[in-house]
Amino acid sequence: MITKQKGTYDVYGVDAKKREYVNDVIKGVCEKYNYNYIETPVFEATELFHRSVGDTSDMVSKETYDFKDRGDRSITLRPEGTASIARWFLENKLYGNMTEPVKVFYNEKMYRYERPQSGRNREFTQFGVEFIGSDDVMADIDVISLAYQTYCLLGLEPVIKINSLGDKESRDNYREALINYLRPHIDELCDDCKQRLEKNPLRVLDCKVDSGSEILKNAPKIIDYLNQESLDRYNKIKDYLDLLEINYEEDSRLVRGLDYYDHIVFEIYVNIESIGKMALGGGGRYNGLIKLLGDIDMPAVGFAMGYDRTLLAMEEAGVKIPINENIDVYVMYVSDTEKETASYLTQNLRLNGFVTETDYLNKGLKGEFKSADRLNAKYLIILNDKDLEDNKVNVKDNMTKEEEKVNINDLVDYLDMHM
């Protein structure tokens, strides 16, 4: 038997309905914040991710699905959304006549060759937003507040962890201080961090292997290396967060896994008794990315969250997801002679907005009653030739069990009135 690939999953039934619910909440929030929906291709030129995300990130160096297509092109399944959107922005020259910032959201499958575990898969869905064209902290706040509100509306109690990576000057100063501090301890770092130290020392700070070590705990903090401008900017963000009553914490070790961030970086987590702290998503400002890909100066800020962990968190937090498992009407027939009318009525009721089912397996009345109960039908329409001769059907309220004969022409009005 052919089975699904490791780290992939099929979504069906209640799980699919839960995802649909999360989708609806996300869509509602994005509409309010005026973000437009965007879809980008599942595969892109490999170079897009290597240039943007950076070769020192685990995601690109170890986790991408890379392959040659039949035309010998190097292709990568997208591991994240931001690089594709930057590519789209540049390819369509949207920087040409920008009168408003570009605000988009996506809801797409991503691919990373990771070790599958709870809330971590090889194919997974991410929701994310990108706000391109404003360097104002108001744009940072727009994105953070959208992320925060999404989780609140999903019934969770999110906390935003924030840090600032400052501008290039601040980062260069910090980078030097960090290398000087870490170099004498190089033998105590994990093999990956030994490599990262010279290429991208900030990444050492979010290493999962070394995270508990004393060396990292005592490392210099980036906040002490921010120049005045970067510090003012960071303080302003905190003022806004206070004003908007967004629950946040500062974390000097937060650098995020990707190379293209500057200034604000943030992560969203929840703290649930049964599972402890769990990061659900994150983002930050990436003013250098579009320049890197297309030589255009263009400030931008964004955020992404994973569905798997969000649903896991909702489950663990006991969030009741409203799932409608009822249908409105079940159309039943006694014998073959009523089937045409059953088919016509089923179609007609659907066209009039009722969730309607009927019997496709010739179960007979007894089986049909059972099906109607399994589907939680609110109303049963029972057809028999005798009633049909008078253009009538038998309508049964499946809760009260009351029955009434209704003229077929009045059926829609009758159901509208009673539903």
Task: Pick out residues in 102-131 that bind ligand AMP (CB under 6 A).
Answer: 112, 114, 119-121, 124, 126
Draw the binding track, 54-93, toward ligand AMP (x: CB under 6 A; -: no contact): --------------------------x-------------
Measured from the CB atom, the residue of 89 and 307 that comes closer to ligand AMP is: 307
Q: In whole angstroms, how close is the CB of 286 to ligand AMP at the nearest point?
A: 12
Examine residue 281 and tell whether it contacts ligand AMP (CB under 6 A).
yes
| Distance separating alpha carbons of residues 103 and 109, to the nearest angstrom | 20
Q: Are 178 and 197 in contact (CB under 8 A)?
A: no
| Distance separating alpha carbons of residues 253 and 164, to the nearest angstrom | 10
Q: In whole angstroms, how close is the CB of 226 to ligand AMP at the nearest point?
A: 23
Cα separation values, 162 from 159, 234, 254, 265, Å: 10, 9, 7, 6
| Distance separating alpha carbons of residues 211 and 205, to the nearest angstrom | 7
Q: In whole angstroms, how close is the CB of 313 to ligand AMP at the nearest point?
A: 9
- The contacts found for 365-369 with CB under 8 angstroms, 24 or more apart, are 365/332, 365/334, 368/330, 368/332, 368/333, 369/332
Please identify the residue of the shown chain whose CB is closest to the bound ligand AMP.
306
Q: In whole angstroms, how close is the CB of 129 to ligand AMP at the nearest point?
A: 12
Examine residue 305 and tell whether it contacts ligand AMP (CB under 6 A).
yes
Examine residue 159 and tell whether it contacts ligand AMP (CB under 6 A).
no
Measured from the CB atom, the residue of 29 and 342 that comes closer to ligand AMP is: 29
Enumerate the β-bridge partners of residue 104.
36, 130
Strands (DSSP E) found in 88-173: 102-111, 123-132, 159-164
Q: In whole angstroms, how close is the CB of 308 to ligand AMP at the nearest point?
A: 4
Instruction: State how beta strands 300-306 and 123-132 pair.
Output: antiparallel
Cα separation values, 305 from 231, 309, 353, Å: 27, 9, 34
Q: At CA 257, angle to CA 253 and CA 260, rounded to 5? A: 105
Q: In whole angstroms, how close is the CB of 128 to ligand AMP at the nearest point?
A: 8
Measured from the CB atom, the residue of 314 and 383 that comes closer to ligand AMP is: 314
Measured from the CB atom, the residue of 166 and 282 that comes closer to ligand AMP is: 282
> Dihedral sign, CA of 397, 403, 408, 414?
negative
Q: Specify the stretch interacting with ligand AMP by CB under 6 A; choose among 19-27, 49-57, 238-246, 275-283.
A: 275-283
| Contacts to ligand AMP by CB under 6 A | 80, 112, 114, 119-121, 124, 126, 257, 279-282, 304-306, 308-309
